């Protein structure tokens, strides 16, 4: 199924606490599901069986956390081979990962580490993205990540870095609005300026989630309801992204399925009424 055939374009992250509920095949307001690639690449048991059952009823996107696309050592072939096998099995409509590095060639730190915003980083990413897209024989979509430190050697702003990588590599962008909000708070920039300087014609998917406020900084926990500020920024760009698939993410403190479904319905409502919000848009 292609995204253009969605009744609504808002999906939900597929999480194990919801397996039992979804196995009953209830009617839902969810248009599609996003599965974490690594959770199913090495599975031959219940997780992959559940993903295939979901795939019978819904479109599925694959979202990775360990490709290590920013590594100067290149991308591990055994990882890509497993990912390609999963793609052939699930037939996702989007394959994405993060614009970050996750360790060395033989050590995965299991974290999304920030890259310096430099010309050297852009060249490394363009080379790695070209290799991955050729290996997988399909476009790769990359997400802007939350960060808590910055490099003294940065040569450009984050929005220029993200835009440059996409334009020169041909990859699409997964715009995580929560991550823009987190980074604007942590690093003190204007999130509206960021959103205005991202090439929306290169954005292929949107993420919405909630961080945890630790007083002096925001941490991207995906453990809370989507905050009003993130909804405000979503409303701001909704007229420009109405045609894109939007995802509600929750990775910790996962509530009942029906509770997350209300956030899906809220996003659908905003998208369906975004023409009015475009006419009445005010600065956030």
In order of 22, 95, 118, 260, the CA distances from 114 in angstroms are 35, 21, 12, 29
- Give exposure, 62-89, as e/b (b: 16+ Cβ within 10 Å): bbbbbbbbbbeeebbeebeebbbebbee
pLDDT > 60? residue 6: no
Contact 90, 52 (CB under 8 A): yes
Mean pLDDT score of the chain: 92
How many CA atoms does the CB half-sphere of 275 hold within 13 Å? 2
Q: Crossing angle of helices 77-90/119-136, nearest 10°?
A: 50
Task: Determine the pLDDT at residue 3.
Answer: 44
pLDDT > 50? residue 4: no
Average pLDDT over residues 157-174: 97
Task: Determine the pLDDT at residue 20.
Answer: 96
Q: What is the DSSP letter of 202?
A: G
Task: Determine the pLDDT at residue 1.
Answer: 41
Q: Rounded CA gap, 2 and 94, in Å?
A: 10
Phi, psi (rounded to 5 degrees) for 220: -80, 75
Task: Determine the pLDDT at residue 179.
Answer: 97
pLDDT > 90? residue 284: no
* Of 41-45, 151-155, 205-209, 261-265, the least confident: 41-45
pLDDT > 80? residue 182: yes
Average pLDDT over residues 179-205: 96
Categorize the per-residue pLDDT at 104 as very low, low, confident or very high, splitting at 50, 70 and 90: confident
Q: Rounded CA gap, 81 and 62, in Å?
A: 15
pLDDT > 80? residue 109: no
Tokens, residue 199: 């090439």
How many CA atoms does the CB half-sphere of 256 hold within 13 Å? 3
| pLDDT tens, residue by residue, 17-55 | 999 999 999 999 999 999 999 999 988 889 999 999 999
Measured over the CA atoms of residue 1, residue 226, residue 205 and residue 94, the dihedral's sign is negative
Collapse the DSSP code of 190 into the 3-class scheme (helix H, G, I; strand E, B; otherwise coil) and give the result: coil
């Amino acid at each position: 199924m292609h995204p253009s055939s969605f009744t609504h374009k808002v999906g939900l992250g597929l999480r194990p606490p919801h397996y039992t509920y979804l196995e009953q095949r209830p009617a839902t307001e969810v248009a599609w599901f996003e599965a974490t690639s690594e959770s199913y690449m090495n599975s031959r048991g219940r997780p992959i069986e559940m993903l295939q059952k979901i795939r019978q009823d819904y479109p599925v996107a694959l979202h990775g956390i360990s490709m290590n696309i920013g590594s100067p050592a290149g991308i591990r072939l055994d990882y890509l081979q497993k990912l390609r096998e999963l793609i052939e099995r699930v037939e996702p409509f989007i394959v994405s990962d993060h614009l970050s590095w996750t360790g060395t060639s033989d050590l995965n730190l299991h974290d999304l580490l920030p890259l310096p915003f430099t010309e050297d980083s852009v060249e490394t990413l363009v080379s790695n993205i070209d290799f991955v897209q050729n290996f997988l024989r399909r476009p790769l979509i990359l997400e802007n990540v939350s960060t808590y430190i910055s490099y003294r050697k940065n040569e450009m702003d984050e929005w220029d870095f993200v835009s440059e990588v996409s334009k020169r590599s041909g990859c699409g962008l997964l715009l995580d609005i929560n991550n823009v909000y987190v980074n604007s708070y942590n690093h003190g920039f204007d999130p509206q300026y960021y959103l205005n300087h991202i090439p929306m014609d290169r954005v292929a998917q949107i993420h919405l989630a909630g961080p945890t406020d630790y007083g002096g900084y925001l941490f991207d926990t995906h453990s809370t309801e989507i905050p009003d500020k993130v909804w405000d920024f979503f409303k701001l760009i909704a007229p420009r992204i109405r045609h894109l698939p939007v995802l509600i993410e929750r990775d910790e403190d996962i509530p009942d399925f029906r509770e997350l479904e209300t956030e899906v319905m809220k996003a659908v409502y905003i998208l369906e009424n975004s023409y009015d919000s475009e006419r009445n848009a005010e600065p956030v």
